[in-house]
Amino acid sequence: MTTRTDALPTQEMTINMGPQHPSTHGVLRVILTTDGEVVTRAVPDMGYLHRGLEKIGERVTYAQYMPFTDRLDYLAAMNCNCAWAWAVEKLAKIEVPERAEYLRVIVCELNRISSHLIAFGSYTADMGAFTPFLYAIRERERVNDLFEMICGNRLTYNYARVGGVSGDAPPGFLDKTKEFLDYFEPKLDEYNNLISYNKIFVHRLANVAVIPAEEAVAYGLTGPNLRGSGLNWDIRKNEPYLFYDQVEFDVPVYEQGDCDARARVRIDEMRESLRIAEQSLDKIEQLAGEPWISDDRKVVLPPREELQTSMESLIHHFKIVSEGYRVPAGEVYVAIEGPRGEEGCYVVSDGGAKPWRVHFRAPSFLAIAAAPTLCQEHLIADLIAISASLDTLMGDSDR
């Protein structure tokens, strides 16, 4: 009997994951080089969802661009709406009424819950547990009911306006929001018992794709991906905007830096969003009757009685509307804490009715850029866990 001592010759294989793949959380193509089941190289190929949203922002007025911000991070459209409104307000020096600010806080935190539910549910589905995804969708539909009540939409909300919001909270909205908060809080304990403390789920994610704090900063990671690596940084707490400095909440932080830690941060953040929304509801009741949008609109419309149905008057009306806000020349960068991290908005004005330059800092783009390093020397099956733990969205990345 002879024993072969030399190693069997092997050859690396290049395979495609995506762009249409159920576990890429968007239209993303990843070119994998594998040695057996081990990934030796992963190159993301983005751009399949590029729609030129930044260039569109330079071709329409400040007010007209608001619906386009819904299509950035389309799972957190409320947050993107508020980022754009805040940027224009800082440029135009528009004071926003307190009631509008608290309405923005409430809808942004509800949207954070909605987004994290999708992240939590899809993560469990990727790992082979489909039932929690149905639970997450069930609760998300309740949030969508509230959004439909306040703005008429369930995905692209277009609720924020420069100077405030598109409308005050309708009768019954605040009470139904309270009902949802009371209903949803016990569900988080259920999620933890079902998944977070599930031995199979924990063993599947623990110590996979560990990101040390220094590397997380070097990658430019923000949001839950950064806090899952032990860094206590939350723009709502460290650089408060809206009225986040008027409410009390904690910032969930985990030191492990692995897939499990990133998943736990998002579940804990939903509990903190409940706290923020509850306090904002209490405060907004004290502002009953207050305005929900600023009188300083930077645009003059003709009186309603002058708007006839004649073609000439309609053309005149739309011409005035299209001129929009006359924003003073200058530049501004604002950053909000979106569900996926720092959603930054950079706007340059040349003094006209349209922006000269629009750019968004997308947290998903930087998370995808970090993925190739994280995937190296991991199994192909772990690639799904790593991708889901980063909670990337291609609409946010490609723009």
The token pair at 167 is 């409308």
Is residue 304 included in any domain, yes or no? yes
Residue 15 lies in a domain: no
- The answer to whether residue 6 is domain-embedded is no
pTM: 0.88
Q: Distance (Å, rounded) from C-alpha 341 to C-alpha 367?
A: 10
Q: Chain-wide mean pLDDT for the chain?
A: 86
Question: Is the residue at 202 inside a domain?
Answer: yes
Residue 17 lies in a domain: no
Quote the distance between the C-alpha of residue 13 and its chain's center.
35
Amino acid letter at 50? H
CATH number at residue 312: 1.10.645.10
13 in a structural domain: no
CB 124 within 8 A of CB 132: yes
Q: Which domain holds residue 136?
A: 44-398
CA separation for the pair 31, 92 (Å, rounded): 45
Q: Output the pLDDT for position 4.
A: 47
Give the Cα separation of 286 and 292 in Å (integer): 13
Is residue 34 in a domain? no
User: How much is the pLDDT for 324?
Assistant: 57
**pLDDT tens-digit series, residues 195-207:** 888 888 888 888 8
Whole-number pLDDT of residue 280: 93
pLDDT band at 82; cut points 50, 70, 90: very high
Share of the chain above pLDDT 90, in %: 42
How many domains is the chain partitioned into structurally? 1
Helix, coil or strand: residue 33: strand
CB 367 within 8 A of CB 225: yes
Instruction: Give pLDDT tens digits for 105-146.
Output: 999 999 999 999 999 888 888 888 888 889 999 999 999 999
As a whole number of Å, the CA-based R_g of the chain is 23
Give the phi and the psi of residue 18 in degrees, each rounded to 5: 100, -170
Check whether 302 has a pLDDT greater than 50. no
| Tokens standing for residue 110 | 């509800």
Residue 3: DSSP 8-state: -
Please give the Cα distance from 259 to 162 (Å, whole number): 38
